[in-house]
A and B are shown apart, each in its own frame.
Chain A
C-alpha cells in the first residue's frame, strides 16, 4: 500500500509539473507532447532526466530529430528501466518513424491511437508487461516494416488488419497469450521475412495462404495449439531458412513439398502428431543444418543421409516408431553431423558399422531401441564422441577395450543391455569420463583398479551385474564421486577405508552383495552423504560412533546384516526420513533422539534385540507413516504419545513383550491400514474405538491375553482383508456385525472362549478364501447352511467345538475347499457326498457322522432308501469287500514302492501354505489320484489307508450311478 501511495504522489507531482510546462508550452510542438508522455512514465534510472524544457528537445535522451530539428522522427528508450503506461499521446508525434520502447516494464495496453502514426516504420514494444489486445488500428500503419510486440501479456486474437501492413518485413508476436487462429490475411504480407508467433495459444490450421509470403525466411510458430496438416503450399516459401512448428498438434504426414525449401537451415517439427514416413525428399535440403522430428508418430525406416545433407549438424528423430537400422550411408568422411539422437524408436539390427564413418559425431544416442549384437571394436573411430548413450537395447558381447581410446568421452550409458565379460582396464584412460552407467548387464570379473584413474567420475552405477572380488582399494582417488551404486553384484570383502575420502559422495548404494566387515572409521568424512544403503550383505560389528557426525543423512537402510551394538550413532542426523535396520542384532534401547528427525516417515527396527519401551518422544514424529518394531524384546506399555503420529499407516509391534491394554486412541489413527499387535502380553478388552480405523486392511491381535466380547464395532471395518483374533480369551458371541467386513479373505477366531452358535451372517463373507478358523472354542448349535455360500473358501476349521446337528448339504458345494476339519464336535448324520475327498480325520470324534469317507449311512432312522438304492448298497457292500481285499493288496504294493517317493512328493506340494498350525486335515487336494497328497513321512501309513477307503468310495459311487440310470 505504501509504495502505491508514493507512486501516486510521484505521479501527481509530475502531472503538476507538466501542467506547469503546458501553461508555458506550445501544444503544437513535439516537445510538449513528449513531456506529457514522460508524465505517465516512471523513470527510476533517470534516462528521462534531461527531458526538460530547459534543454533543446533534440538533445533529449533517446530522441532522433528531423534534419530541421523540429520533429521527432525516432524515439529509442529500449532497456531503460521504464515503467508506467504508454501514452495515447504518442499519436501526436506525427513524424515518428521509429518507436522503440522494448525491454522495459511498461504496463497497460497498447494504445490504439498509435494507428495514427502514419510515418511509423518500426514499432518495437516487445518484452514489457503490456496487456489487452493487439489493436486492429495498427493495420493503418501503411509504412510499417517492423512490428515487434511479443513477450508481453497480450491476449485476444491476431487482428486480420495485420494483413494490411503490406510493407511489413518483421512481425513478432511471440510469447504472449494470443488465441484464435493465424489470420489467412497474413498471406498478403508479400515483403515479410520473419514471422514469429511462438508460445501463444493459437489454434486452428496453418493458413494455406501463408505461401503468399514469398520473401519469408523465418517462420516460427512453435508451442501453440495448431492442428491439421502442415500445408503443402509451404513448399513455395523458397526463401525459408528457419521453420519451427514444434510442440503443436499438427497431424498427417510431413509434406514432401518441404523438400523444395532449398534454403532451409533449420527444420523443427518435434512434439506433434505427424505420422507416415520421413519423406525422402528432405534429402534435397542441402543447406539444412538442424533437423528435429522427434516426439511424433513417424514410422518406416530412416531415409536421411548426411552424405546428401552435407551441412547437417544435428539430427534428432527420437520418440517415434521408426524401424529398420540407421542407414548405412548416413555419413561419409566429410559429414558435419555432431549430434545424432534416435532414442525411443523401434530401430533394430546390429550396431551400424557405417556409423563409425561419422567421425564428427560428438553426441550419439541410440537408447531405447531394439539394437542387438556386439559393439564394434572400432568404436574408437568416433574419436570426438563425448556422449555415448546405448542404454535399453539388447547389445551383447564385451565392452571393447578400444573404448579407452575415446579420450573425449564424458558420458557412457550402457545400462539395460546384455553386455557380458570383464570391464576393460583401458577404461582407466578416460580422463574426462564423468558418468558411467553400466547397470543391468551381465558383466563379471573384478572391478578394475584402473577405473579409479578416471578422476573426473562423478557417477558410477554398476547395479545388477555379476562383478565379484572386492571394491578397489584405491576408490578414494575418485575425489569427484557423488554417486556410487554397486548394488546387486557378487562383491565381497570389506568396504575400502579410502572410500571415506570421496568426500563429495552423496549417495552410496552397496546393497545386495556379499560384503562383510564393519563400516570404516573414515566414513566420518562423508559429510555430504544423504543416502546409504547396505542391506542384504554380511556386515557386522558395532557402528562407529563417528557416524553421528553425518548430519545430512536422510535415508539409511542397513537391513539384513549382522550389525551389533547400539543404533544410537544413526540417530544424530535430524534429517532422517527413512531408517531401516530390520534383521540385525542391534541391542539396547531405541534411542529417543530419533525423534529429532521431524521428517521421519519410515522407521523399521524389526527383528533385532532391542529392549525397553517405545520412547514417548516418538510422539513428535508427526510425519511417521511406517513404524515396524516387531520381533524385538520391547516391554512396557505403548506410549500414548504415539497417538500424535496421525499419519501412521502401518503399526507393527507384534512379537514383543509389550503389556497393558490395547489403547483406545488407536481409533484416531485414520490412515491406519495395518495394525499388528499380535504375540505380545496385551490384556483387557479390545477397544470398540478400533472400529473407527475405517481404512484398516489387516488387524492382528492374536496371541495376547485379551478377554471380553469381540466388539461389534469390528463391523465398521469394511475394508478389512485379514482379521486374526485367535489365541486370546475372547468370550461371548461372534458378533453378527462381522458380516459387514465383506472384503475379509482370512478370518481366525480359534482358541478363544467363544460361545453361542456360528452366526449365519458369516455366509455373507463370500470373499473368504485363505481360511475360516473357528476351532477350539465353545461354539454350539448347528453349522449354518449359509456357509455353503463361501465359494472361494480353501480352508474351513470348525473342530473342537460343541456343534451338533447334521452337516448342511450346502457345504458340499464348497468346490474350492482344500482342507476341512469338523472333528471333535457333536455332529451327526450324513455328510455331503463331495466330502468323500477329505480324509477321515476331518470328521473324527463326532456323534454319528456317516457317509464316505466314514462308514456308509445305513439304518432306518435315516430317510428310507428306495429298493434300487438298497440293492445298490448291498451290491456296493459286496463289491466293496472285494475291493477292500484288492485295496489292501494294492496298499501293500504302494507302501512298498512309495516309501522313497514320499520325501520328493512332500516338496512337490510346494504351493500349499505351510503353517505349522495347519498340519490338520488336508483334503484330496488336486485331482483324483493320490500323488499330490501332502505327506508327512510320519503319517504315511494313515494317509495311505485313507486313500484306500477313498478309492473304495469312488467305486461305490460309480455303482450307485449305474443303478440310478
Chain B
C-alpha cells in the first residue's frame, strides 16, 4: 500500500500545485472565501482561481494595479461564514456583504483592511463580538453591522476611528456603553447607533446580553436622571441587569 499511497500523494501534490500558476494572494483569499460560502444562485460562478488575478471575476472591482478595491455580494443569497483570509485584501475599499445569510463570527483579520472605506455586513446572522481589531481600520467611514446577532459591547478602541461617519449597529444583541470619544461624540442621536429606535436625549431600554457594565451602573442612573440635557454625549444603553 505504501508506495501507491506515496505515488498518489505526490501526484495529487503535483496536480494541485503545478497547473495553478496564478498563486496570487487576493485571488486565493477570495477563492478561500468562496469555498466557505454556499452560493445558492451561482453568483460566484465566474470566480475562476486559475486566472492571473481576480479582477475579471464578477462582483469584484480592481484598481489600475489589479488590486481588489470592491467586493459586492450584497443581496446575493449566500450563506456560510467568513474566514481570516479576507484580511489579505489589503487594498479593499468596499466590503459589501449585506443582506445574506452569513453566519459565524466576524473575523478579526478584517481589521487588517487599512484602506477600507465601507464595511456593510448588515442583514446577516453574524454572532460574537465586534472585533477590537476594527480600531485599525484607519480609513473606515461607513461601518454598518446592523441586523445581525452580535453580542458584547462596542469596543472602546473604535473611538480612534477618526474618519468614521456612519456607524450602525442597531438590531443586534449588543450591550454596554456607547463610546463618547472620537467620532462617537459627533454622531447625531438620530443615527442608528443604538439597538432600538431612539430619539434625541432619551436613554434606552435594551436587552442585556453578555453585559459588562458593572462599573457604569451609577453613571447610568445619573444619565437617566438628566436624560434631556447635557448628557447626550454620555449615554448608556444598558438597563440595570435584572
List residues of A whose CB falls within 8 A of some B CB. 268, 290, 292, 313-314, 316, 318, 339, 341, 363, 365, 387, 389, 411, 413, 415, 435, 437, 439-440, 459, 461, 463-464, 483, 485, 487, 507, 509, 511, 531, 533, 535, 557, 580, 626, 649-650, 673-674, 697, 721, 742-743, 745, 767, 769, 792, 794, 813, 815-816, 818, 834, 910-911, 925-928, 932, 965
Contacts and interface: CB of A to CB of B under 8 A. Distances in A.
B52 interface: yes
B118 A769 contact: yes
A503 to B, nearest CB: 19
Contacts of B94: 769
A745 B117 contact: no
A745 B70 CA distance: 12
B39 to A, nearest CB: 15
A318 B6 CA distance: 11
B2 A816 contact: no
A509 B72 contact: no
Given A292-B5, A463-B21, A911-B93, 5 more contacts: A316-B2, A389-B13, A674-B58, A794-B142, A815-B166
B142 A792 contact: yes
B162 A290 contact: no
B1 interface: yes
A314 B59 contact: no
A533 B46 contact: no
Nearest to A313: B2
Contacts, number: 106
A71 to B, nearest CB: 43
A314 B2 contact: yes
Nearest to B58: A673
Contacts of A387: 6, 10
Given A911-B117, A926-B162, A926-B163, A268 B21 contact: no
Contacts of A697: 58-59
Interface string B182-207: 01001010110000000000000000
Interface in B156-171: 162-163, 165-166
A411 B139 contact: no
Nearest to A965: B229
A800 B183 CA distance: 34
Given A339-B2, A411-B10, A673 B229 contact: no
Given A411-B10, A927-B183, A650 B1 contact: no
A816 B142 CA distance: 7
A531 B21 CA distance: 10
17 contacts: A314-B2, A318-B9, A339-B6, A341-B9, A440-B23, A464-B23, A509-B21, A557-B52, A697-B59, A816-B142, A816-B166, A910-B115, A911-B141, A925-B141, A926-B163, A926-B165, A927-B163
Q: Which 7 A-B pairs have the closest CB atoms?
A: A926-B163, A911-B139, A314-B2, A673-B58, A911-B117, A509-B21, A815-B166
A413 B93 contact: no
Contact of A767 (B14, B74, B163, B166): B74
Interface string B111-146: 000010110100000000000000000010110000
B119 to A, nearest CB: 12
B18 interface: yes
B216 to A, nearest CB: 25
Contacts of B118: 769
Contacts of B14: 435, 459
Contacts of B58: 649, 673-674, 697
Contacts of B46: 649, 673
Main secondary structure of the interface of B (DSSP, over half): loop
Contacts of B141: 818, 911, 925-926
Contacts of A464: 23
A463 B22 CA distance: 10
A942 B156 CA distance: 37
Nearest to A962: B229
A693 B228 CA distance: 55
Contacts of B186: 927-928
B221 interface: no
A487 B229 CA distance: 65
Given A363-B6, A650-B56, A911-B139, A290 B1 contact: yes
B75 interface: yes
Contacts of B59: 697
Given A413-B13, A816-B165, A932-B163, A743 B74 contact: yes
Contacts of B6: 339, 341, 363, 387
Given A650-B56, A721-B72, A927-B186, A815 B165 contact: yes
A705 B183 CA distance: 46
Indicate the member of B23, B96, B191, B229 with the most A CB atoms within 10 Å.
B23
Contacts of B188: 815, 834
A697 B58 CA distance: 8
A140 to B, nearest CB: 36
A650 B21 CA distance: 23
Contacts of A580: 52
A659 B45 CA distance: 33
A742 B74 CA distance: 11
A624 to B, nearest CB: 14
B171 to A, nearest CB: 15
A235 B92 CA distance: 58
Interface string B3-26: 001100110011001110101000
A931 to B, nearest CB: 9
Given A745-B72, A813-B190, A911 B1 contact: no
Contacts of A925: 141, 163, 165
Contacts of A910: 115, 139
B18 A461 contact: yes
Interface in B43-98: 46, 52, 56, 58-59, 72, 74-75, 93-94, 96
Contacts of A818: 141, 165
Contacts of B120: 792
Given A339-B6, A461-B18, A535 B166 contact: no
A270 B117 CA distance: 48
Nearest to B93: A911
Contacts of B163: 911, 925-927, 932
A600 B10 CA distance: 31
Contact of A927 (B5, B10, B115, B162): B162
A240 B59 CA distance: 59
Contact of B17 (A437, A649, A927): A437
Contacts of A339: 2, 6
B205 to A, nearest CB: 23
A742 B99 CA distance: 13
Contacts of B228: 965
Nearest to A343: B9
A625 B6 CA distance: 39
A769 B74 CA distance: 12
A792 B23 CA distance: 35
Contacts of B2: 290, 292, 313-314, 316, 339
Contacts of A440: 23
Contacts of A721: 72
Nearest to A511: B52
Contacts of A318: 9
A507 B21 CA distance: 10
Contacts of B229: 965
Identify the interface centre among B2, B14, B56, B120: most chain A CB within 10 Å of its CB: B2
A459 B18 contact: yes
Contacts of A650: 56
Contacts of B72: 721, 745
A606 to B, nearest CB: 11
Nearest to A411: B10
Contact of A815 (B9, B93, B117, B191): B191
A792 B183 CA distance: 18
Nearest to B183: A927
Contacts of B165: 815-816, 818, 925-926
B10 A483 contact: no
A650 B191 CA distance: 40
